[in-house]
Structure 1
Amino acid sequence: MGKLTAVQVKNLKEPGRYQDGEGLMLDIGKSGSRSWVVRVQHNGKRRDIGLGSARDVGLAQARTAAAAVKEKIKAGIDPTAKPEEPPAIPNFRECALEVIKEHRPSWKNAKHEAQWRATLEAYAFPDLGDKPVDQITAPMVRDVLVKIWLTIPETARRVRQRIGAVLDWAHAKGYRPTEAPTRAVNKGLPKQPKGQDHFAALPWQKAPEFIATLRASDKAGEEVRRAFEFLILTAVRSGEMRGARWSEFDLDAKLWTIPAMRMKASKVHVVPLSDRAVELVKAAAMGEPDANALVFPGAKEGRPMSDMTLTMALRRMKVNCTAHGFRSTFRDWCAETTNFPREVAEAALAHAVGNRVEAAYRRSDLLEKRRQLMDEWAAYCTGIAG
């Protein structure tokens, strides 16, 4: 039991140190200051550790604090060391980029990184990118996924897996208290119909009418209308168009060279451009564009246009198809109205070759034949075919 009482502590005025026991002392200075000190042995040295002003800390509190100091010393902990500050919480985008960086050595093909980046930039970053990763909840993730869950189900499932991987990584790093709320997210999403992984396509007969309507529509901005028409005329995938940069274009030669890392098959794809496609690219230029700048940027500076932007344009125009579905529209038009060989149409779509015979035949990329095909497609779509 201590030697001091609460009354003594209150009444003591004479400068000096008054022992309570177990190393605890009341220290009264010549100026009248009053503070608590505990004397301990730490690493073979005697140390006096302050416990606070007697005006703020009562006798009982001082005894408790002194006991806590001694317990830390017994445990080998420096009682004067400042506690480690919790790590600064990064946002979702920063975590995702770290996950990609850490996974990069394990990926055999560069396309994996390109696909991760493309899907997260298109679907996750617009809503989650700037949010601190510890504040991302199941409802937030569900709201991101539900926009694409039924329209592009396969892509949506990949986005769900990638968001989950980022949140799990953040939990393992100590940035969030829980793992990805996968079960809650799944419970909040509608059931995907079986056999619906294909992309709804517009009948090829309606393509010219759609482009005419698109050009005149007030349901999308000029940049979106321009990008959408370019997407249709080139028959590329949405992500390939949205990620296009000025350095990829040779407008004098009317060629667009998409690097392998941005292609699904991880092979360079050269797209011959029709005159109308060249016009659309030139119209997108603002002065002298930077070679690394996006041709069709999104609303946020430096960010690509999101796939949802194209989807929303279709919804507002009340057109029941997907942006990706226009590749099927193009393929059906090739098969039903032209005499171009199948391999030319497949090469235009940058489809992987299914058998060795066809692969041997297509050692050439059939560029000139594809140029003729794309010119005819553009002429049909823009309503000037003879």
Structure 2
Amino acid sequence: MALPETGIAMAGIKLLNTARINALPLPERGKRRVSDGGGLYLVLRATGSKAWVFLWKRNGQPTEIGLGRLSDLGLADARKMAEIARVEVAAGRDPREAFRPKDEKTFKDAALAVVEMKSRGREAKTRHQWERDLLYRCKTLHSRPIENVTRSDILKLLRPIWNDTPESGRRFRARLEALFGYAIAMKWRQGGNPAVWKHGLEHVLSAHTDTKGHHDAMPWQDVPAFMVELSERKAISAKALAFTILTAPRTNEALQAQWGEFDFSKETWTIPAERMKAKTGKRKPHTIPLSPQALAIIHEMGETKISDYVFPGQKRDKPLSNMAMLNLLQSRMKKPFTVHGFRSSFRDWVGETTDYPRELAEMALAHVVGNMSEQAYRRGKAIERRRPMMLEWAAFCVPSEINANVVRLHG
């Protein structure tokens, strides 16, 4: 098999696997190489040692660089190092320079390198996605030495989106794993990979049971009984969760609600455009007609107003943590559901028990419905059309057992 000279024709063939490596016999004397393809070889010695090397042609002559012992460097990481070496060869550089000790590298150094490697030759959208996750979302780690970043740091990045947007959370984690894998392969980091799932984050983050990114939703039939149970709790997180269920926004949209967003004369709450989710196109503000039950919660929070945020957190001038409602739901109340899943509960209730049209329910969830002209028309007409639907949902959610409290607060 030819050695890589340009790095273009030689792709990783991946001839080896763990089982085959374990079964390889040692040579009786000297050494022998076993190829994984693309210039990566495992060198077996009669002494019992096993080590990875990368071979390429330099000025037409075979040249070898040691990558590390098999006991220290697994097959996956060896392949990553070989990929880095092939990129260097393709660029006309000596790959040995890439693996020589350098000045201490930061998280941002690794992020920029990985973004460049993963987006080379691909469409602009791919670069944007990698930049968003490794540069924008990780700003707090930019100046940190990559060697010093811990699993706790990674959890702080992942937890805000892990349960609200599982698909985004999974992709973000995978990109972080790629970043640390690169740093380890480049010998910028000696520790393990803090973003790996198996034998790592699986022990501290809840597993996403639905690989398509759906959220575990409470059956709509069970919501009234749950609201009774929830009404017995006095924590701010309980008030925030009840309000979220009644109004059906996304978690961050609810927790970051500020007093200036409410029009009590019109009994509406308008979420600003910058806080709305938008898969494509321009973000738009979203107005939600408020039921008496939802207004009662807002009025109750107003009696002890201490912040611009309706649901204040423990830190001064900060809203409630976006994990607060989920912790209440799963850890304290022992319910196997997600906060976001209540949006599905609402949607299922509309579809199974009412005659309201599908598009009205979708608009209540701030989902895009129809073309741009239809959307503009509906924005102007749909708020009052949605009001009776939201009133019925609230009346269903808040049964007679807790209506007296609602009347007292609202009246």
Q: Give the TM-score category using the shorter length.
A: 0.5 to 0.7
Deviation at 1:156, TM superposition (A): 2.1
The CA distance in 1 between the partners of 2:191 and 2:358, in whole Å, is 45
Change (3 A) 1:359 1:248: closer
Letter paired with 2:327:
M
Q: Which has the larger radius of gyration?
A: 1
1:297 to 276, 290, 312: 312
The aligned residue for residue 200 of structure 1 is 216
Deviation at 1:353, TM superposition (A): 1.7
Please, what TM-score do these two structures have when normalized by structure 2? 0.53
The aligned residue for residue 278 of structure 1 is 295
Aligned 8 A contact 1:167 1:179 in 2: no
Deviation at 1:354, TM superposition (A): 4.9
Aligned 8 A contact 1:208 1:380 in 2: yes
Deviation at 1:310, TM superposition (A): 1.2
Aligned 8 A contact 2:326 2:338 in 1: yes
Q: Secondary structure at the match of 2:323?
A: helix
The CA distance in 1 between the partners of 2:251 and 2:229, in whole Å, is 20
Q: Secondary structure at the match of 2:324?
A: helix
Q: Secondary structure at the match of 1:303?
A: coil
The CA distance in 1 between the partners of 2:272 and 2:391, in whole Å, is 23
Change (3 A) 1:215 1:150: closer
Question: Are 1:227 and 2:240 matched, yes or no?
Answer: yes
Count of residue pairs the alignment pairs up: 272
Question: Are 1:160 and 2:173 matched, yes or no?
Answer: yes
The CA distance in 2 between the partners of 1:365 and 1:135, in whole Å, is 54
Aligned 8 A contact 1:164 1:180 in 2: no
The CA distance in 1 between the partners of 2:247 and 2:254, in whole Å, is 9
1:381 to 369, 374, 397: 397
Aligned 8 A contact 2:164 2:251 in 1: no
For structure 2, the 5+ residue unaligned runs are 1-102, 112-123, 404-411
Change (3 A) 1:164 1:256: farther
The CA distance in 2 between the partners of 1:373 and 1:284, in whole Å, is 25
Aligned 8 A contact 2:247 2:290 in 1: yes
Aligned 8 A contact 1:200 1:320 in 2: yes
Deviation at 1:189, TM superposition (A): 3.7
Change (3 A) 1:370 1:167: farther
Change (3 A) 1:271 1:147: closer
The aligned residue for residue 37 of structure 1 is none
Deviation at 1:301, TM superposition (A): 2.1
Change (3 A) 1:167 1:270: farther
Q: Equivalent pairs: percent with the same residue?
A: 41
Question: Are 1:322 and 2:338 matched, yes or no?
Answer: yes
The aligned residue for residue 268 of structure 1 is 285
Change (3 A) 1:300 1:150: closer
Deviation at 1:320, TM superposition (A): 1.7
Aligned 8 A contact 1:257 1:269 in 2: yes
Letter paired with 1:325:
G
* 1:260-316 deviation digits (Å, cap 9, x = unpaired): 1100121110111111111111211255666xx211122222222223211111122
For structure 1, the 5+ residue unaligned runs are 1-85, 96-106, 172-176
1:310 to 321, 325, 333: 325
Deviation at 1:350, TM superposition (A): 0.6
Q: RMSD of the alignment, in Å?
A: 4.9
Return the structure number with greater relative CO, CA threshold 8 A, min gap 6.
1
Change (3 A) 1:250 1:238: same
* 1:72-102 deviation digits (Å, cap 9, x = unpaired): xxxxxxxxxxxxxx99x99x9xx9xxxxxxx
The CA distance in 2 between the partners of 1:160 and 1:333, in whole Å, is 34
Letter paired with 2:318:
R
